[in-house]
Amino acid sequence: MTNAPPRAEIVVDLDAIAANTAVLRERVGRPLMAVVKADGYGHGLIPAARAVLAGGADALGVAVLDEALALRSAGVTAPVLAWLHGPGTDYSAALTADIEISVNADWGLDEVVAAAQATGRTAQVHLKVDTGLSRGGATPADWPALVAAAARAEAEGSVAVVGVWSHMAYADAPTHPTIGAQVRVFEEAVGIARAAGLTDARRHLANSAATVALPETWYDLVRPGIALYGLDPLGGDPAAHGLRPAMTVRAAVALTKRVPAGVGVSYGHTYFPERETTLALVPVGYADGVPRAAGNRAPVLAGGAQRTIAGRVCMDQFVLDVGDAAVAPGDEVVLWGPGEGGEPTAQQWADAVDTIHYELVTRVGGRFARRYVGSAGAV
């Protein structure tokens, strides 16, 4: 049994992550903050962080402080920005761990200042302006007051404003009119911050889509996430940007059986083979992050061909109709991967189940084992 192939595994190519990082870093020719939130987009927070740093990333970006602190606990010393904090956040741990903090509002600034005073540390702060996504950040109406308060805190020595930043709504549609509008609002906000004396703040706006498609948004730092993992933020072929997908999701067939034409397959009998065929049972399901919506829609590679999942995806398993192909228990089924060996890509899955590849790679997990290949950033 010791040599038995894993039932189901997510294989992460660290060299691909490093190479993707290097490609983007080279293209932009300026600092790159690699976004490793959400467990490195499902690729593993710490290995992904080490791989992007090996590929030349200058800093790391995460959503919440726990992610930033996990990086520090693992010994990652690169600059880290964390940007999503509610009221009552314990900023003292973040300041002690040298985490840069995004501030959206005056009450958030007050909490950061209090923690700076309590710990005797100067908080490294990025002020976020809402330029049109209407998600995080201060509105243009609230921005001058936030900037003024931050400038006072900087003068007192409790904070250093090291960044002014925002996030784009539509960078994946590079000709969308909101892009120019967001850039204009951003530049006005930067001007207000500069006029208030916040002259050391670096400007950053570009996510992956903007990093590949909108050089006018690169400013002092780019902030890509998904592209580092080799997925095209524009929904096309990542190879067009010199990127290669880092994740392969595979499982071993648990059972095969010969069945007559017309049997009903899986819950609710939403699939009936038209002729006598072989069914193959694949031991992963929606509890493992395989979307239930993939039933009768998403493709997998099995027995040398792509085949659509037959019937409903169950909690722990789904079924394939492999026809007369010589598929046996233990044989490999690939859900998605780089696409270089005939397997579907995460983009194909996203199209099939009407979502985006971001959601697929961040949700797949459950009982899949994660295995790393490549050496970039390995310790």
Ligand X SMILES: *Cc1c(COP(=O)(O)O)cnc(C)c1O
Tell me if 163 sits within 8 A of 100, measured CB to CB.
yes
- The residue from 25, 50, 85, 223 that contacts ligand X (CB under 6 A) is 223
Tokens read off for 325 = 């192909």
Whats the size of the chain, residue-wise?
Answer: 379
**What does the DSSP assignment read for 171-237?**
TTSTT-HHHHHHHHHHHHHHHHHHHTT-TTPEEEEE-HHHHHH-GGG-TTEE---GGGGT--TTSS-
Check residue 347 for interaction with ligand X (CB under 6 A): no
The residue (of 104 and 208) whose beta carbon lies closer to ligand X is: 208
The residue (of 167 and 244) whose beta carbon lies closer to ligand X is: 167
Least separation in angstroms between residue 177's CB and ligand X is: 20
CA–CA distance from 263 to each of 157, 241, 266, 274 (Å)?
74, 45, 10, 9
Check residue 362 for interaction with ligand X (CB under 6 A): no
The residue (of 18 and 282) whose beta carbon lies closer to ligand X is: 18
Q: Which residues contact 46 (CB under 8 A, 6 or more apart)?
A: 40, 70, 71, 74, 76
Check residue 224 for interaction with ligand X (CB under 6 A): yes
**Taking the CA atoms of the chain, what radius of gyration do you get in angstroms?**
24
Check residue 207 for interaction with ligand X (CB under 6 A): yes
Interface residues for ligand X in 240-259 (CB under 6 A)? none
The residue (of 225 and 245) whose beta carbon lies closer to ligand X is: 225
Residue among 219, 267, 286, 358 flagged as catalytic: 267
Number of Cβ within a 10 Å radius of residue 261: 10
**CB under 6 A: which stretch of 17-25, 72-80, 106-114, 220-228 binds ligand X?**
220-228
The residue (of 44 and 225) whose beta carbon lies closer to ligand X is: 225
- Calculate the CA dihedral of residues 88, 94, 96, 102 and round it to 10 degrees: -100
Residue 24 phi/psi, 5-degree rounding, is -70, -40
Check residue 230 for interaction with ligand X (CB under 6 A): no
DSSP H or E segment with residue 335: strand 332-336
Interface residues for ligand X in 1-40 (CB under 6 A)? 35, 37
Check residue 101 for interaction with ligand X (CB under 6 A): no
Active site residue 128: no
Active site residue 372: no
User: Can you tell me the distance from the alpha carbon of 309 to that of 296, in angstroms, rounded to the nearest whole number?
Assistant: 5
**CB under 6 A: which stretch of 185-193, 218-226, 258-266, 276-284 binds ligand X?**
218-226
Check residue 233 for interaction with ligand X (CB under 6 A): yes
Least separation in angstroms between residue 35's CB and ligand X is: 4
Check residue 167 for interaction with ligand X (CB under 6 A): yes
The residue (of 158 and 207) whose beta carbon lies closer to ligand X is: 207
331 by Cβ neighbours in 10 Å (0-12 / 13-18 / 19+) ranks as middle
Q: Residues 71-90: x/- map of binding to ligand X (CB under 6 A)? A: ------------x-------
At residue 369's C-alpha, the angle toward residues 364 and 375, to 5°, is 100
Check residue 311 for interaction with ligand X (CB under 6 A): no
Q: Count of residues binding ligand X (CB under 6 A)?
A: 11
Residue among 37, 41, 91, 372 flagged as catalytic: 37
DSSP 129: B
The residue (of 11 and 60) whose beta carbon lies closer to ligand X is: 60
User: Can you tell me the distance from the alpha carbon of 48 to that of 370, in angstroms, rounded to the nearest whole number?
Assistant: 12
**CB under 6 A: which stretch of 177-185, 194-202, 214-222, 224-232 binds ligand X?**
224-232
Least separation in angstroms between residue 11's CB and ligand X is: 21
Check residue 208 for interaction with ligand X (CB under 6 A): yes
Active site residues: 37, 267
Instruction: Give contact residues for ligand X (rule: CB under 6 A).
Output: 35, 37, 83, 167, 207-208, 223-226, 233
